[in-house]
């Protein structure tokens, strides 16, 4: 592994600024191609997040990354303030929406699709069939463990 770093250091030390600019341009094109093959959201581990913050903080606005620039700037601010980094993932649906999903499932014995239709009639937006499914799956798991009161 150290041989690889020695080779890389030798290439960089012997390169002229014009050659370095061509290499950087190539790497940017390569990154664009690879980013086009990635899914919309990329899960980044806390260790990867720390590495991105450590190296991205030095680049400033010239940064092009696998995460949104605003996200990286927020991570850098959080790192400087000393606060722990937030957990990844999306926020949960509001409690009243989850409660309504469980109530509709219990009261009518409906599956996911009719519940989703009722929620849309009630103007509950930005909820998918899989979200309803996940809410009901969590509800079943909670009721099996005896913690039913925490959800409803």
Task: Find out whether 101 and 136 touch, Cβ atoms under 8 Å.
Answer: yes
% of the chain surpassing 90 pLDDT: 0
Return the pLDDT at 150: 43
pLDDT over 50 (residue 78): yes
Q: Residue 26 phi/psi, 5° resolution?
A: -60, -45
% of the chain surpassing 70 pLDDT: 76
pLDDT over 50 (residue 151): no
Task: Find out whether 115 and 105 touch, Cβ atoms under 8 Å.
Answer: yes
Task: Find out whether 136 and 112 touch, Cβ atoms under 8 Å.
Answer: yes
Greatest CA separation for the chain: 74
Return the pLDDT at 14: 67
Residue 55 tokens read as 């190296």
Please compute the mean of the pLDDT values over residues 139-143 and round it to a whole number. Answer: 59
């Amino acid at each position: 592994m150290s041989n690889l770093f020695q080779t890389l250091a030798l290439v960089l030390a012997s390169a002229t600024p014009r050659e370095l600019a061509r290499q950087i341009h190539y790497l940017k094109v390569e990154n664009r191609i690879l980013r086009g093959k990635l899914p919309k959201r990329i899960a980044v581990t806390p260790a990867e997040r720390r590495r991105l913050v450590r190296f991205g903080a030095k680049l400033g606005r010239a940064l092009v990354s696998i995460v949104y620039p605003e996200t990286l700037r927020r991570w850098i601010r959080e790192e400087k303030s000393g606060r722990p980094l937030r957990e990844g993932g999306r926020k949960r649906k509001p409690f009243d929406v989850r409660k309504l999903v469980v109530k509709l499932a219990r009261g009518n014995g409906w599956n996911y699709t009719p519940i989703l239709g009722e929620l849309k009639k009630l103007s509950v937006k930005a909820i998918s069939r899989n979200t309803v499914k996940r809410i009901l799956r969590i509800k079943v798991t909670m009721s099996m463990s005896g913690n039913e009161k925490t959800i409803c």
